[in-house]
């Protein structure tokens, strides 16, 4: 123990608290975890590691302002540790108005930890989200150069290529093909990259390579075909794929999978009465589903925080505008309990919702999505109040319009 300093003992004790906190988080005991994090900081208030780990805990439990304080403290205490600017940069990259500062912090983190490929990958992702395609491509190409040659980087480069004003389809297709081929080898869960298989299938179909398109569809069959099933069935790009006899076999397997999914996840099966509701619109008026008997009603369950929900709103609005004079009704049921009426109204307008938005309640939300627990979901309710069809996940104009034409009373 000779020469052992009090500060060393304090940090060892704090490190023990941090280990206990981590174990509590793994077991879902978050209150106990927080107590351990606080004990660590009380024991060693100048221990940068404690500030970093507690900051991560705070961010993951939706306390961004407190997380920022601890990230900044860690950056002050350990200015050469790349994690300080990396974690703070990530926080700012998710904060409106602070993205530029976040990008600057990412660049600092890359200087401090040039071998940390995750930092550069996140930097490229943020640039892509901000629409800075050329800079994102530069970041991902640099990542390839410095050793980050993996499935994630290749798939991101495929997506980047597609976002260009003049994309080269062959290049995007090559990146995607190389990326998905390496997912298992690089230890990634293929389910998290279903979009890459779909995009590759689309590019292959457009290029006339039915074999590659079918390979991707077969892969999706084991991952997440349900989300893309409608596109394969309706989009013109897949016409040659649909004409291939092998597609019919895949579709039969997909239908089995889909029916099993319905039984497990669908709260309201087609043919059943749609749960009625009495909800307020954004003007405070009461709206009941049964008020629209005799008409085709689209019930869309969504939330402002849900990216796929926001992305489909323009397509839903376009279909509503085109068919509202023919008797089609669209009702957007928002599950945003924490937003005020004015905040929800502003958000709906910003996202381009042209149809009535209602504030869902727990009973209604549970009735429609209790089994799946996911959003968005869109139900097509017929004139007699029975569910005709539904769409799980993000929809598009073609999928909506195809169903509207099919079910609209003549």
Same domain, 186 and 234: no
Task: Determine the pLDDT at residue 4.
Answer: 39
Q: Which of 147, 170, 198 is the C-terminal boundary of a domain? A: 198
Give residue 340's domain range.
278-407
Overall number of domains in the chain: 3
Same domain, 153 and 83: yes
Q: Which of 198, 222, 254 is the C-terminal boundary of a domain? A: 198
Same domain, 193 and 322: no
Same domain, 83 and 165: yes
204 in any annotated domain: no
Top mean-pLDDT range of 114-123, 246-255, 366-375, 389-398: 114-123
Q: How far apart are CA 65 and CA 43, in angstroms?
A: 23
71 in any annotated domain: yes
Same domain, 62 and 139: yes
121 in any annotated domain: yes
Same domain, 19 and 100: yes
Percent of the chain with pLDDT over 90: 58
Same domain, 285 and 354: yes
388 in any annotated domain: yes
Same domain, 220 and 185: no
Same domain, 19 and 112: yes
DSSP for 116-154?
-HHHHHHHHHHHHHTT-HHHHHHHHHHHHHTT--SHHHH
Sign of CA dihedral 101, 102, 108, 111: negative
Contact present, 332 and 225 (Cβ < 8 Å): no
203 in any annotated domain: no
Q: Which of 140, 171, 198 is the C-terminal boundary of a domain? A: 198
Give the CATH number of the domain where residue 317 resides: 3.40.30.10
Which residues lie closer than 8 Å to 175 by C-beta, 6 or more apart? 154, 155, 157, 158, 161
Of the two residues 245 and 311, the one the predictor is more confident about is: 245
Band the pLDDT of 2: cuts 50, 70, 90: very low
Same domain, 373 and 326: yes
Give the CATH number of the domain where residue 121 resides: 1.25.40.10
Q: What is the pLDDT of residues 254-308, one digit of tens each?
A: 777 666 666 666 667 778 899 999 999 998 999 999 999 999 999 999 998 888 8
Same domain, 193 and 305: no
354 in any annotated domain: yes
| Cis check: omega of the bond before 6, within 30 degrees of 0 | no
Q: How far apart are CA 85 and CA 87, in angstroms?
A: 6
272 in any annotated domain: no
Same domain, 192 and 217: no
Q: Residue 76 to residues 57, 69, 93: CA-CA distances in angstroms?
A: 19, 11, 20
Q: What is the pLDDT of residues 157-216, one digit of tens each?
A: 999 999 999 999 999 999 999 999 999 888 887 877 888 999 999 999 999 999 999 999
Q: What is the pLDDT of residues 65-102, one digit of tens each?
A: 999 999 999 999 999 999 999 999 999 987 878 889 99
Mean of all residue pLDDT scores within the chain? 88
Q: Which of 304, 376, 316, 287 is nearest to 344 (CA)?
A: 304
* The pTM of the whole model exceeds 0.75: no
**Percent helix, strand, coil in the chain (nearest 5)?**
65, 10, 30
Task: Determine the pLDDT at residue 109.
Answer: 95
């Amino acid at each position: 123990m000779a020469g052992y300093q009090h500060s060393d003992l304090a940090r060892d004790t704090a490190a023990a608290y941090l280990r206990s906190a981590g174990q509590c988080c793994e077991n879902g005991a978050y209150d106990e975890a927080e107590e351990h994090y606080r004990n660590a900081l009380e024991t060693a208030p100048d221990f940068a590691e404690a500030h970093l780990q507690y900051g991560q805990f705070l961010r993951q439990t939706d306390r961004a302002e407190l997380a920022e304080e601890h990230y900044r403290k860690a950056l002050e205490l350990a200015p050469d540790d790349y994690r300080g600017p990396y974690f703070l940069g990530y926080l700012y990259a998710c904060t409106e108005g602070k993205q530029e500062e976040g990008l600057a912090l990412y660049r600092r983190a890359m200087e401090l930890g040039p071998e940390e490929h995750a930092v550069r990958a996140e930097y490229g992702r943020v640039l892509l989200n901000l629409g800075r395609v050329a800079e994102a491509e530069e970041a991902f190409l640099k990542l390839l150069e410095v050793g980050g040659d993996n499935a994630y980087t290749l798939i991101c480069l495929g997506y980047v290529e597609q976002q260009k004003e003049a994309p080269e389809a062959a290049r995007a297709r090559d990146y995607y093909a190389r990326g998905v081929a390496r997912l298992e080898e690089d230890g990634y869960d293929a389910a998290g990259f279903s979009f890459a298989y779909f995009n590759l299938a689309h590019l292959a179909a457009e290029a006339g390579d039915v074999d590659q398109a079918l390979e991707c569809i077969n892969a999706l069959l084991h991952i997440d075909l349900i989300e893309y099933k409608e596109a394969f069935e309706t989009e013109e790009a897949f016409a040659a794929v649909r004409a291939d006899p092998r597609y019919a076999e895949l579709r039969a397997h997909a239908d089995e999978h889909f029916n099993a999914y319905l039984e497990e996840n669908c709260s309201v099966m087609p043919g059943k009465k749609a749960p009625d509701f009495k909800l307020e619109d954004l003007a405070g008026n009461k709206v009941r589903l049964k008020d629209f008997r005799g008409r085709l009603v689209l019930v869309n369950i969504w939330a402002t925080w849900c990216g796929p929900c926001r992305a489909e709103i323009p397509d839903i609005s376009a279909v509503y505008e085109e068919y509202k004079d023919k008797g089609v009704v669209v009702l957007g049921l928002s599950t945003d309990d924490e937003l005020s009426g004015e905040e929800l109204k502003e958000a709906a307008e910003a996202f381009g919702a042209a149809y009535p938005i209602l504030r869902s309640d727990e009973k209604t939300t549970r009735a429609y999505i209790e089994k799946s627990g996911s959003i968005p979901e869109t139900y097509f309710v017929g004139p007699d109040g029975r569910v005709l069809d539904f769409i799980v996940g993000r929809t598009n104009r073609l999928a909506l319009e195809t169903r509207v034409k099919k079910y609209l009373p003549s």
